[in-house]
Amino acid sequence: MKTQVAIIGGGPSGLLLSQLLHTVGISSIVLERKTKDYVLGRIRAGVLEQGMVNLMRRAGVSERMDAEGYVHNGTVISNADELIELNFTKLTGTPVLVYGQTEVTRDLYEAREKAGGQIEFEVEDVVIHDAKTDAPYLTYTVHGEERRIDCDYVAGCDGFHGVSRQTIPDDVRQEFEKVYPFGWLGILSETPPVHHELIYSNSPHGFALCSMRNANLSRYYVQVPLTDKVEEWSDDRFWGELKKRIPAEVAEKLVTGPSIEKSIAPLRSFVTEPMSWGRLFLCGDAAHIVPPTGAKGLNTAASDIHYLFEALKAHYLEGDDSGIEGYSEKALLRVWKAERFSWWMTNLLHRFPDQGPFDIKMQQAELNFLRDNEDAQKVLAQNYVGLPY
């Protein structure tokens, strides 16, 4: 096969890039390691920045998102029993939209299938060849059958464990990583959300987050040691721990129920530089990971897709290669700002194993400053709703 852009990874990043390219007549083929059902079964975050919302609209896949997404004008940070309410719309003029990543992916699959887009599932043994030449190609197998795609460019949207990042030679690639000494235990329950906005909770018992997917589907998290196992956490134990970590007035309103999904996610900050090598471009988790505290994972991937789409569009439609040549530098400038915000939020709200009395006092002082200072609230709000592309 031959195409203009070969995209490795059939998650939201790869699908969004493929759909955007389709809108301007640029061909692509998407390769996905898993089945479509597996991809749609992954439970992920659902807070969308305005930039991501605009990209979905630009791609022509926003109808269900606009109809079913929940506009959130702010968020709440709790400090023990105190609630600090932040109004994003008042502070920045921009809200965020709560719409599950699974639903984003579902909408993109539907659009690609409707347009006759090529997506190969259950792909194995992907190898990127000649990325530093003007004729790169991919080889791979599907159910034991060997296949090849010749292309102009390769977009690596295949996540942290994918082949794309590893294709960049060790002497070219530099990696920066911070692994946090805890994880998030998350559950999904068919219960009404405890609050109309997300609640990020700092408490002596550890961090907790109250979020939602819709009016009868809630997502809750508590900070746990990395040594904990999901099997050790019954639903009753989870609900009891959550109630201890959120303000009493909120805990009283909490509607509990059986979990329909439960998992523990480790937290890490990770960036690789550069994000391009020859005609290979990295996007999303293939290039960077953020702790989920700042709701930046999917949104930072979206900004990568924006920069790469605009660069490829300029190349094919205008003969302008400046965007392609500057992709890595431009994307990384925004990536590191998102990393900083997520790192700051994580440090602000979690309890660390080596935290002493002084560290806890500093955390409290930071929260009190945030409560009392509108400029500090604006800085948080600007980062949360999304820095400009």
Q: Is there a contact between 224 and 266 (Cβ–Cβ < 8 Å)? A: no
Locate all alpha helices (DSSP H) within the chain, ordered by sequence. 12-23, 36-40, 50-58, 63-68, 88-92, 101-114, 163-167, 235-245, 248-251, 297-318, 322-325, 327-349, 357-372, 374-385
Longest dimension (CA), the chain: 63
Does 296 qualify as catalytic in the annotation?
A: yes
Locate all alpha helices (DSSP H) within 119-209, ordered by sequence. 163-167
Full pLDDT tens readout for the chain, 389 residues: 999 999 999 999 999 999 999 999 999 999 999 999 999 987 677 899 999 999 999 999 999 999 999 999 999 999 989 999 999 999 999 999 999 899 999 999 999 999 999 999 999 999 999 999 999 999 999 999 999 999 999 999 999 999 999 999 999 999 999 999 999 999 999 999 999 999 999 999 999 999 988 888 899 999 999 999 999 999 999 999 999 999 999 999 999 999 999 999 999 999 999 999 999 999 999 999 999 999 999 999 999 999 999 999 999 999 999 999 999 999 999 999 999 999 999 999 999 999 999 999 999 999 999 999 999 999 999 999 999 99
Predicted pLDDT of residue 74: 96
Give the rounded distance of the alpha carbon of 328 from its chain centre.
19
Catalytic residue, chosen from 70, 140, 200, 220, is 200
Does 307 qualify as catalytic in the annotation?
A: no
Q: Is there a contact between 206 and 223 (Cβ–Cβ < 8 Å)? A: yes
Predicted pLDDT of residue 215: 84
Catalytic residue, chosen from 193, 292, 306, 315, is 292
Does 200 qualify as catalytic in the annotation?
A: yes
Predicted pLDDT of residue 41: 85
Global pTM?
A: 0.95
Does 153 qualify as catalytic in the annotation?
A: no
Torsion-angle region of 9 (φ positive above 0: left; ψ -120 to 50: alpha; else: beta): left
Predicted pLDDT of residue 77: 97
Catalytic residue, chosen from 22, 195, 296, 330, is 296
Does 384 qualify as catalytic in the annotation?
A: yes
Catalytic residue, chosen from 12, 70, 72, 306, is 72
